[in-house]
Structure 1
């Protein structure tokens, strides 16, 4: 079965370019020209959503938030305008896994999609092949169900957040550099900015820490990277 991809883009020429390229690679493509249309068309069979930020009705950030709430395992890539760094940060903070900056090449489009699908598929394969539980302090990471619990309370996490947490919790009390996180989670050929790591870390902290501005579990090691810190 081919992977299903949603293209949400109000500019017909860009939408057509993306659709032609992806269908040529045998992806199952559905398209929408505004946010409300996209939300009506998405269901649990969609693997990846490509979301433009600037739309005629609700913006891409709001679409991203609603999709993440309804479909926590969907892969989301935001499409931002060149030079709009704030859009990248807001998009990632809204629950996106990655972003593309216009104008982008067909090669970059396909590379981002394939990298995200590998992360999603890697997580799904773990669900069926690995029944281990990783227990660390108040946290339990269920490798079978791709679920993180804190004191038996389930915390909703995205596939990308799952991969980051798994990497850090498997290296508890050791510093993992931002470059290593980027290579291990996004892949060595990732085109994007290393700030993507920082935004995802902030997003995870909001979910697991009592006070995200003063973390006690997911700590920054200044000048080096991040550490999953649990007292032994």
Structure 2
């Protein structure tokens, strides 16, 4: 279990909200509970979460609509949908609107925990495990301190926009390996996720303009067609 995982629960039933908060907190999660879509939106804008537990029927609101709105806005956090309905068509509808998993009420609390942990594992795999976490990588005249997210040209620091630095650090943490666009988004989620979502190609172009002698024929940030991008670099111990 990832005890640092942050869970946010949206359910309009106060008794169930409180029960879920107590149980999930006892399992080691950091838990926030909200009762409507407006409060959910405010909390998601303030801080990152790792899993959303979303009730299908929320008073006058509809969990399917909330799920679709989040996905349309570019939100990628895993969503576990709860419903009192056991109809397989409801499950299909939830998955088609962007939910990652589905759990029918009533359910065992232990099954909820197991499903949350499965989503966290899936997210970790999707993000890709960095192969470099403390070293520096060098490419051309540049040196990237991966741990500190600092770029140098010779001995001089190079200023980058935060989104570009996040992208370069994500690439630098897996040098000489193709990293998918989805992985790059997932690695940056919780910091500048919105800045990278749907704009990675633009940030790659800007990075190339800064570090490549000929951006149209890049030596360091390579496009891996059908996958994403790769940073060609030497790893320093």
Higher Rg of the two aligned structures: 2
Q: Which residue of 2 is the match for residue 26 of structure 1?
A: 28
Conservation of the 8 A alpha-carbon contact between 1:22 and 1:29: yes
TM-score, length basis structure 1: 0.55
Q: Is residue 56 from structure 1 mapped to residue 37 from structure 2 by the alignment?
A: no
Q: Please list, as runs of the form range in 1=range in 2, the aligned pairs for 1:91-170 lying within 5 A after superposition.
A: 91-126=94-129, 130-131=174-175, 132-133=177-178, 141-142=180-181, 145=184
Q: Does 1:10 pair with 2:12?
A: yes
Tell me the CA shift for residue 3 of structure 1: 1.2
Verify the 8 A CA contact 2:127 2:182 in the aligned structure 1.
no
- Could you list the runs of 5+ residues in structure 2 that have no partner in the other structure? 131-169, 187-196, 199-225, 227-237
**What does 1:61-100 correspond to in 2, within 5 Å?**
61-100=64-103
Structure 1, unpaired ranges of 5+: 135-140, 148-154, 157-207, 209-232
Q: How far, CA to CA, are the matches of 2:64 and 2:19 in structure 1?
A: 23
Separation (CA, whole Å) in 1 of partners of 2:63 and 2:182 = 31
Match in the other structure for 2:41: 39
Cα RMSD between the aligned structures? 2.8
SS of corresponding position for 2:184 = coil
How many residue pairs get matched? 145
TM-score (norm 2): 0.54
How far is the alpha carbon of 1:17 from its aligned partner?
1.3
